[in-house]
Structure 1
């Protein structure tokens, strides 16, 4: 899987979406989210909730395009979040990937518009088809230039249940769209 694809071409280029602060970057110190939570068996996610930024959205399966880049939900459904259905299910061992639009071609905010404002310690809840809720705690929020997107770091697995949320961010070019991606790193810390 490659990254750095433009998630949506926007007309909101005059007003950039929020960017994460340097304080939200991955830390080399001990990870406070390393609680012993057993991975869940695979089950499709159906809804994502991020109370800190007002997200409460349905989820849909997405795949890869012909170039191997992660697809997004249709631009006509900016409030829908996608998850990489050929990969790890959220809550299972490995790295689950979710994506969503930062904004829309007509200028409105997308489901992940405020992703860059998330802070370490925020929670992300994913309701699954098996009626369990996987609760993740944010470990970091980073902004990466599309041309230097660290695929191994973002998509790589530690073997424990983790989640990455990805959307567009940074500067905007009328020719190519957003120049960066916001990536949220989160670890499973509870199951309900």
Structure 2
């Protein structure tokens, strides 16, 4: 999977699944970005294994709201006359919604991704589609860079912003997202943008998917809030196929 240094991106070979996007009102299927391309070749000999997310996250149950529990009602020995208050205020149907619509940041190209928990502080390059419809990723010699899928939303905009990166490379060893699987819910991801603003995100989920079950709709589908999807490879390295068996997907929501 070697490539000349003057070629900034390379195509995908394995499949992540088929991301879908709306283009001019028509649903268009895009070939997904390659798991193999996110990996390059395995590290030899005896490479360190990247951390993997937990298969099952513990369930979180909300604390009971005791104040909301209705007070017990006791029957009175003598009936109490009831009174009906005259309606006041505005009928519910006429009241304006108290929940504001989500507001995203204006579109701006991302320049850097910072993930304090795993000590990532990497520059971002823009990637798009190759002529065959596959998603571009940084070359293996640029495996310390992350790639922003410029066809989708920019980080902070309403929608899914997608950032991809290698997990390792024979050329440099552990790559930009080598420790991505070590993230947990609540961790923070920051993306610096060309307009000087920083979009901050809080991790919602960290999951590992077999390449045959890549969650295309989660990563590439529409979203009514500002989301960030960070993707790399995971699972075990298959020497025969020359790639990892899984993809790690970190889904995060923007912190207003």
With normalisation by structure 1, the TM-score equals 0.87
CA distance in 2, matches of 1:125, 1:37: 19
Cα distance change on mapping 1:47 and 1:24 into 2, 3 Å: farther
Label 1:28 to 1:181 Cα distance change in 2 as closer, same or farther (>3 A).
Answer: farther
2:54 is aligned, of 21, 28, 38, to 21
5+ residue gaps, structure 1: none
Contact residue 173 and residue 179 of structure 1 kept, 8 A:
yes
- TM-score normalised to structure 2 length: 0.66
Cα distance, 1:74 vs structure 2:
1.2
Deviations 1:142-188 (A, max 9, x none): 00111121211222222110000000110111232111100000011
RCO comparison, higher one (Cα < 8 Å, 6+): 1
Matched residue SS, 1:91: coil
Q: Report if aligned partners of 1:169, 1:182 keep a CA contact under 8 Å in 2.
A: yes
RMSD of aligned Cα (Å): 2.4
Q: Indicate which of 20, 23, 32 corresponds to 1:3.
A: 32
Aligned counterpart, 2:136: 71
Q: Answer whether contact 1:4 1:146 (CA < 8 A) is retained.
A: no
Quick one: structure 1 residues 120 and 174, their matched pair in 2 at CA, closer, same or farther if it must change by over 3 Å?
Answer: same
* Count of residue correspondences: 185
Structure having the higher Rg: 2
